[in-house]
């Protein structure tokens, strides 16, 4: 009974580990912990650039129209440059967070798969479930119990395969794929 529940639980975790990682929002945690100081500097520069644009707009009466236009264009170009840098910095942070989520997801999937493989290898001759003689699985009974050789039994490799397939189908159906 222990193998039955352990294998089913591990297969369920394997099927939903990607969604669990997204639910935990590791990318946001990564951004908070490893947020860049350059982003704070860019925010400060953005604030200063906006103030410069406002100063130029307020001082229009003191200068000629040409000088005012040139100063305003330079200040606006500087503002746009800083906004562009800030956007690219945000995109890089999101990309790093997504790569962390992807790495952790595949790492957990690899670990769970390795554990399932070891369980299967160590217990391949142990039946997970043995049914009463009244229940006949013929003509596939030998396949279900392979390599245990016990009649009316479900082997560990077949149980891992069936649980994994069933949970993937269920998760995909719930997602709507």
On the question of pLDDT at 163 being above 70, the answer is: yes
Q: What is the domain range of residue 132?
A: 2-175
Distance, in Å, from the CA atom of 16 to the CA atom of 89, rounded to the nearest integer, reads 31
pTM of the model: 0.75
What is the gyration radius of the CA atoms in the chain, in angstroms? 30
What does the mean pLDDT of the chain come to? 88
Percentage of residues in the chain having pLDDT higher than 70: 91
CB 129 within 8 A of CB 98: no
Distance, in Å, from the CA atom of 9 to the CA atom of 115, rounded to the nearest integer, reads 12
The HSE-up count of residue 102 (CA atoms within 13 Å, CB side) is 6
Predicted pLDDT of residue 32 = 61
For the stretch 8-29, pLDDT in tens is 999 999 999 999 998 888 767 6
For the stretch 46-105, pLDDT in tens is 899 889 888 888 876 667 888 888 888 998 999 999 999 989 988 888 888 888 889 999
For the stretch 92-128, pLDDT in tens is 888 888 888 899 999 999 999 999 999 999 999 999 9
On the question of pLDDT at 173 being above 90, the answer is: yes
Predicted pLDDT of residue 162 = 95
Number of structural domains in the chain: 1
Q: What is the DSSP letter of 140?
A: S
């Amino acid at each position: 009974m222990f193998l039955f529940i352990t294998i089913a639980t591990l297969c369920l975790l394997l099927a939903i580990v990607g969604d669990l990682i997204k639910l935990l929002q590791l990318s946001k945690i990564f951004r908070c912990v490893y947020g860049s100081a350059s982003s704070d500097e860019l925010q400060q520069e953005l604030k200063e650039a906006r103030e410069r644009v406002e100063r130029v707009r307020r001082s229009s009466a003191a200068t000629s129209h040409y000088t005012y236009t040139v100063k305003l264009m330079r200040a606006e170009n500087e503002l746009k440059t800083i906004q562009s840098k800030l956007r690219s910095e945000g995109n890089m942070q999101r990309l790093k967070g997504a790569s962390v989520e992807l790495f952790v997801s595949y790492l957990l999937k690899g670990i769970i798969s390795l554990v399932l493989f070891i369980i299967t290898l160590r217990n391949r001759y142990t039946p997970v479930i043995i049914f009463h003689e009244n229940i006949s699985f013929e003509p596939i009974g030998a396949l279900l119990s392979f390599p245990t050789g016990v009649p009316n039994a479900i082997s560990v490799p077949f149980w891992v395969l069936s649980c994994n397939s069933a949970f993937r189908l269920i998760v995909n159906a719930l997602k709507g794929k």
